[in-house]
Chain A
Amino acid sequence: MTPPPTNTVAGMIRPVPMPPDSQTNRDLLAVMKGASGGYWFLLGLALFFMHLAGAIWIYQVYKGLGIAGYAHPIFWGVYVVTFVFWVGIAHAGTLISAILFLFRAKWRNAINRGAEAMTVFAVLTAAQFLGIHVGRIWKSYFILPYPNQRGLWVNFKSPLLWDTFAISTYATISILFLFVGLIPDIAIARDRATGWKKVLYTILALGWVGSSSQWKAHNRSVLHLSGLATPLVLSVHSVVSWDFAMALVPGWHTTIFAPYFVAGAIFSGFAMVLTLMIPVRRIFGLEAYITDYHFENMSRFILLTSIICGYAYISEYFISWYSGVEPEQTSFWLRAFGPYWISTWVMIIFNTVLPQLLWFKKLRVNVPFLFVLSVCINIGMWFERYVIIITGLSREYNPATWGEFIPSWPEMGILAGSFGFFCTFFLIFLKLFPVVAIAEMKEIAIHEKAHGAGGGH
């Protein structure tokens, strides 16, 4: 450019030329474009189950919790099992986003967004089960400490109160974490969208332009949210476990519960990430971004947490034998050889035996195997909670009060509906927001451009 001649600078302004869009943007935004017949079929199926559960729930509100198979001595049934299951699933997202972020594990970049979204939807699914389980939904606000004319306050010494605070904090923080991470990516989508999507993204991107002050505040916020979410994720499932461990029920009243539940939660959460991301990668052709390397690392995590779970199972049995307390011993004997033996052996085989196959590298990179294994782990982890809750309650101290539990059809319908609810939101998310964090992938791409090609992320 030559120095400005006599005319003004403003007169020299010309539109800035536009080069073609970057490869990363094109690949990752393509996931959000259009929808195949298969997608609509899956969404329809998910919506069907969600509405089915809604209908069953309305019926249950009308008839009462009696139709849910609740009978003496078992008043915590499939709903509580499923609540713990979904809270557990929710843990992998924060682990991948926050803890691996603090450890600077770069491989998390490809999977963190999907895992964060999964976390939010899983927590929302779980939270509904508290309402479903209490039955009289119109009184569920009693759990909140609000000023009322009776002058009463809630009992903060109760683990159920701790749970209220833990779950609502977890839901809030994971939504904030997901949204903060999404802002730069929504701005990318905004710059390329048209029609109603342009309006939506313009609102949600909050005017993000990627200026240095924005990135500076963003980086610091992500760091601090990670720092806050790391102890939070460990506390949430500890608090959930104390719902049980603080009670005197044999099989529940143990100090190992907090780490045992946290490891199990991370274990099941990673399995769910695999269950979701393997089809997503396949359907949307994201092999260049979500590589086998990512799946292999996740399977290593699964192997590690599976061993921790196995250790917890063994030590539970050992301590109950070693304690010499007869109700404990009976409870554990009946777990393995009593009326619920199938659940126990499903749990042991799916959660601790099958994952040992991941010692073999060939299987760690075998994607169909990983998918099947992850589904087995999801089933196994649901049964783990089933075993803990149902066998514990059905065989308490006094044999005269023992009872049997068979899941009822409303419970199974609402369980199926919870998957419908979760999948509905995940499928909608896939089409509205980038499922791989685009800005983070670009960070790697630009680093590679700066330092020459190579480096496998």
Chain B
Amino acid sequence: MARLVGIFELPAQVAAAVKQLKSRGYTDIETFSPAPFPEVDDAVHPKPSKVRLMTLIGGLTGVVTGYSMTIWMANNWQIMIGGKPFSSIPPYTIIAFELTILFGGILTVLGLFIFGGLPKFKIDPAYNSRFSAEDFGVVVRCSEQDVAEIDALMRDNDATEVNLVES
């Protein structure tokens, strides 16, 4: 197996190259971008990020925790004040609201870690500090006989360089 990294200057070129590579049947594709560009990220991973599911789970856990904690605690040691009910929903809504945000936020960041593959203890050898400057990279894993085809395809899409890296 071989790995090729094509270096591009503009996000549109990266997106076009990725789409063509996919249409030719290459599936092991990854890109490196210095900044977020939806066209690039969507070309590689067309589905929406699953982070949204994490936010939903966190938010729902928070709202349930907020109400159940306050209501349970108010009834665990009941203090009668003026014959009013022990649990009072309007003030507890504030606690439930804050916990919705808190749990939702924490699980969102957890989602970033899970679906973004962080923390990563070994950095991909194809990564290079020029991708944290202003260059884009497209990394493709392929069999050795496909190297020439991919090389030509990337250059057709305005890759400034195409290099081989350790696989």
Contact = CB atoms under 8 A, between A and B. Distances in A.
A25 interface: yes
B62 to A, nearest CB: 9
A19 B130 contact: yes
Interface in B109-151: 109, 111-113, 115-124, 127-135, 144, 147-148, 151
Contacts of A14: 163-164
Contacts of A235: 94, 97-98, 101
B109 A212 contact: no
B162 interface: yes
Contacts of A440: 35
A446 B134 CA distance: 8
Interface in A160-192: 161-162, 165-166, 168-169, 172-173, 176-177, 179-180, 183-184, 187-188, 191-192
B60 interface: no
Contact of B112 (A21, A180, A449, A450): A180
Nearest to B87: A156
A221 B112 contact: yes
Contacts of A214: 116-118
Main secondary structure of the interface of A (DSSP, over half): helix
A407 interface: no
B64 interface: no
A35 interface: no
B44 A212 contact: yes
Given A180-B109, A216-B45, A217-B111, A439 B35 contact: yes
Nearest to B167: A10
B161 interface: yes
A214 B41 CA distance: 9
B70 interface: yes
B77 A218 contact: no
Name the interface size band of chain B: 35 or more
B25 interface: no
Nearest to B81: A157
B91 A157 contact: yes
Interface in B29-54: 30-38, 40-41, 43-45, 48-49, 51-52
Contacts of A187: 132
B28 interface: no
Contact of A219 (B38, B105, B106): B38
A443 B33 CA distance: 10
A9 interface: yes
Interface stretch (A71-79, A80-88, A201-209, A307-315): A201-209
Nearest to B72: A153
A213 interface: yes
Interface in A436-457: 439-440, 442-443, 445-446, 449-450
A21 B132 CA distance: 9
B16 to A, nearest CB: 12
Contacts of B127: 209
A372 interface: no
Interface in B56-93: 59, 69-70, 73-74, 76-77, 88, 91-92
Given A212-B33, A212-B44, A21 B133 contact: yes
Given A9-B2, A210-B131, A217-B116, A176 B105 contact: yes
B134 A445 contact: yes
B49 A162 contact: no
Contact of A449 (B2, B9, B38, B123): B9
Q: Output the residue of A18, A214, A442 with the most chain B CB within 10 A.
A: A214
Contacts of B164: 9, 12-14
A400 interface: no
Interface residues of A, number: 75
Interface in A224-268: 224-225, 228-229, 231-232, 235, 239
B118 A208 contact: yes
A148 to B, nearest CB: 11
A218 B40 CA distance: 14
Contacts of A153: 73-74, 76-77
A191 B132 contact: yes
B14 to A, nearest CB: 9
B49 A209 contact: no
A22 B148 CA distance: 30
A60 interface: no
Contacts of B112: 180, 217-218, 220-221
B49 A145 contact: no
Contacts of B76: 151, 153
Interface of B: 2, 5, 7, 9-12, 30-38, 40-41, 43-45, 48-49, 51-52, 55, 59, 69-70, 73-74, 76-77, 88, 91-92, 94-95, 97-99, 101-102, 104-106, 108-109, 111-113, 115-124, 127-135, 144, 147-148, 151, 161-167
Interface of A: 1-4, 8-10, 12-14, 16-19, 21-22, 24-25, 145, 151-154, 156-157, 161-162, 165-166, 168-169, 172-173, 176-177, 179-180, 183-184, 187-188, 191-192, 206-221, 224-225, 228-229, 231-232, 235, 239, 439-440, 442-443, 445-446, 449-450
Given A18-B129, A152-B77, 9 more contacts: A9-B2, A18-B128, A176-B106, A176-B108, A184-B132, A211-B31, A225-B105, A225-B109, A446-B134
